[in-house]
Amino acid sequence: MAAPTPLAVHADPDPSFAELIAGRPHLAMDARDGLMVEEVPLARIAAVVGTPAWVYSAGSLRRRARALNGALSGAGLDASVHFAMKANDNLAVLALLHREGLGVDVVSEGELRLARAAHIPASRIVFSGVGKTDRELRLALAEDILQINAESAEEIAMISALATSLGRVARVALRVNPDVDAKTHAKITTGRAENKFGVPIDAALALYARMAAAPGIEAVGIATHIGSQITAGMAAYRAAYARLAEMVHAIRAAGLPILRVDCGGGLGIPYRDELAPLPDALAGAIKTTLGGLGLPVMLEPGRWIAGPAGLLLASVIIEKKGARRFVIADAAMNDLARPAMYEAWHGIVPVSPIAYHAPLSPADVVGPVCETGDTFARGRDLPALPAGEMIAFLDAGAYGATMSSTYNARPLAPEVLVDGARFAVVRDRQSYAALAHGQRVPDWIGT
Ligand code: LLP
């Protein structure tokens, strides 16, 4: 058994179910059909795919993609958005976002292959990440993707050698670590000098010059990403982008080429009642710092686009009452890892209309995995939830399914996409046979 993970303690009362639903336009509580995603009752989805299941709202994904694009063009920016598909790599979600004009930001061969399987053209793919393998870089070069974000002198040398040997020219941006504090959870902050990401800002210009001179490389720009779930306002963004702007001036003063600036992702969302900045604020921060350079900008948001658009639907296995009240769900930390990993708060709303209106009392919501850390919420006000009642974990559209595992030999949950009154199962539940697939017991073990 692992040590218990302390979940964040909040002094103020949690938002009510009605407040949680009101803040998420794709959700509604119907007096007869219960909790709905767009026009589809969750109970209908559960009848088809069972629980646990991930449910995404196409309408919400579209609205959010449009809001972000609208904020950027409204600020007069020449901007392109590359969805960070580590947040959600479902092919249907990627295809939908691509139809909204988004490209993708990938961080592995697997993501690159999934993006291509979703018919995202190579010209809309950026490859980020602190450690890309030889094989991954070869594939990126063979596919001739839009841009590779390099994170070290060593990686630049590696890309140069590979591109030259393959007779290709790699378009490379240099990821700069601006050493600013994004004031987010320590596990997801990336722009401090002590973090592993990017090259130190002081060394960046010299490295950029070396990169621009390297055979097989076209130096196309600079990139940064300072962290994720940033809700503390725009100060950290502005500080980071101001440093990038200074660097663009220095690059130009040195007579070196630069075509674009990649501003990364990180825009936070309100999971509980956080005052999260809106895309307009981010667009404004980009405009004031980088807007005068006459360069196109790129963004790599993940969470802001997909997080609020998804939920994890679960059923109650059993309610266990004693000194504490435990609601034991059929979803667990292997499905939604964020509470166990980051003490993250996710709204939990009952699905049936009767439970929705019933009196509340505090409960700990847990999964069946054999770890105390398998706790979604502590002391959460919930109605009586007898076995079979369903609950929805909100804002699970980003870093939900992509972070799930088969721990405790629990098959990966299916994914469902709702669009108005229709829905499609966009990923089947993993079979039990798949859990053993590819495994073998050598003869010399015997049976
Ligand atoms: N670009 C790069 C280079 C990144 O590393 C990330 C996220 C993003 C873009 C997208 O960041 P976003 O817009 O989604 O904040 N598993 C954690 C989040 C880890 C984020 C890692 N990098 C969570 O569940 O909170």
pLDDT higher than 90, residue 259:
yes
- Per-residue confidence (pLDDT) for residue 4, from 0 to 100: 45
CA of 149, closest atom in ligand 1: 3
263 part of the active site: no
State percent of the chain over pLDDT 70: 98
User: Is residue 402 very low, low, confident or very high in pLDDT (cuts 50, 70, 90)?
Assistant: very high
Give the model confidence (pLDDT) of 5-60 as tens digits.
456 668 899 999 999 999 999 999 999 999 999 999 999 999 999 999 999 999 99
Please tell me the distance from the alpha carbon of residue 403 to that of residue 161, in angstroms, as a whole number: 34
- Per-residue confidence (pLDDT) for residue 191, from 0 to 100: 77
CATH pick for 17-57+307-436 out of 2.60.410.10, 2.40.37.10, 3.30.479.30, 3.40.50.720? 2.40.37.10
- Per-residue confidence (pLDDT) for residue 105, from 0 to 100: 98
Give the model confidence (pLDDT) of 113-140 as tens digits.
999 999 999 999 999 999 999 999 999 9
Nearest C-alpha to atom 24 of ligand 1 is from which residue?
399
Give the model confidence (pLDDT) of 297-321 as tens digits.
999 999 999 999 999 999 999 999 9
Give the model confidence (pLDDT) of 62-109 as tens digits.
999 999 999 999 999 999 999 999 999 999 999 999 999 999 999 999
Backbone angles phi, psi at 305, to 5 degrees: -75, -45
Please tell me the distance from the alpha carbon of residue 325 to that of residue 327, in angstroms, as a whole number: 7
Closest by Cα among 276, 280, 264, 273 to 222: 264
CB-based contacts of 422: which residues, under 8 Å, 6+ apart?
40
Tell whether ligand 1 has an atom less than 6 A from the beta carbon of residue 188: yes
Residues 352/354/360/365 CA torsion (nearest 10 deg): -20
- Per-residue confidence (pLDDT) for residue 192, from 0 to 100: 79
Query: Is residue 230 within 8 Å of 301, Cβ to Cβ?
Result: no
CA of 304, closest atom in ligand 1: 13
Tell whether ligand 1 has an atom less than 6 A from the beta carbon of residue 224: no
DSSP secondary structure, 15-56, as one string: PPHHHHHHT-TTEEEETTTEEEETTEEHHHHHHHH-SSEEEE
The yes/no answer on whether domain 59-302 falls in CATH 3.30.310.160 is no
User: Is residue 1 very low, low, confident or very high in pLDDT (cuts 50, 70, 90)?
Assistant: very low
- Per-residue confidence (pLDDT) for residue 6, from 0 to 100: 53
CA of 223, closest atom in ligand 1: 3
pLDDT higher than 90, residue 3:
no
CB atoms within 10 A of CB 149: 29
pLDDT higher than 90, residue 446:
no
The letter for the amino acid at 312 is L
pTM beyond 0.95: the answer is: yes
Distance 190 CA to ligand 1 centre (A): 9
Tell whether ligand 1 has an atom less than 6 A from the beta carbon of residue 189: no
- Per-residue confidence (pLDDT) for residue 287, from 0 to 100: 98
Please tell me the distance from the alpha carbon of residue 87 to that of residue 400, in angstroms, as a whole number: 7
Distance 402 CA to ligand 1 centre (A): 12
Distance 265 CA to ligand 1 centre (A): 7
Tell whether ligand 1 has an atom less than 6 A from the beta carbon of residue 198: no
State percent of the chain over pLDDT 90: 92
Nearest C-alpha to atom 6 of ligand 1 is from which residue?
265
Nearest C-alpha to atom 20 of ligand 1 is from which residue?
228
The catalytic position among 22, 142, 206, 370 is 370
Please tell me the distance from the alpha carbon of residue 172 to that of residue 217, in angstroms, as a whole number: 7
Average pLDDT, the chain: 96
Query: Is residue 297 within 8 Å of 264, Cβ to Cβ?
Result: no
Pocket test for ligand 1, best of 107, 149, 190, 225 (most atoms within 8 A of CB): 225
Tell whether ligand 1 has an atom less than 6 A from the beta carbon of residue 126: no
Tell whether ligand 1 has an atom less than 6 A from the beta carbon of residue 342: yes
Domains of the chain: which residue ranges? 17-57+307-436, 59-302
How many residues does the structure list for the chain?
447
- Per-residue confidence (pLDDT) for residue 80, from 0 to 100: 98
| Region 432-445 average pLDDT | 97
Tell whether ligand 1 has an atom less than 6 A from the beta carbon of residue 385: no
Please tell me the distance from the alpha carbon of residue 438 to that of residue 366, in angstroms, as a whole number: 31
pLDDT higher than 50, residue 2:
no
HSE, side-chain direction, 13 A CA sphere, residue 59: 14
- Per-residue confidence (pLDDT) for residue 220, from 0 to 100: 98
- Per-residue confidence (pLDDT) for residue 8, from 0 to 100: 65
Please tell me the distance from the alpha carbon of residue 250 to that of residue 248, in angstroms, as a whole number: 5
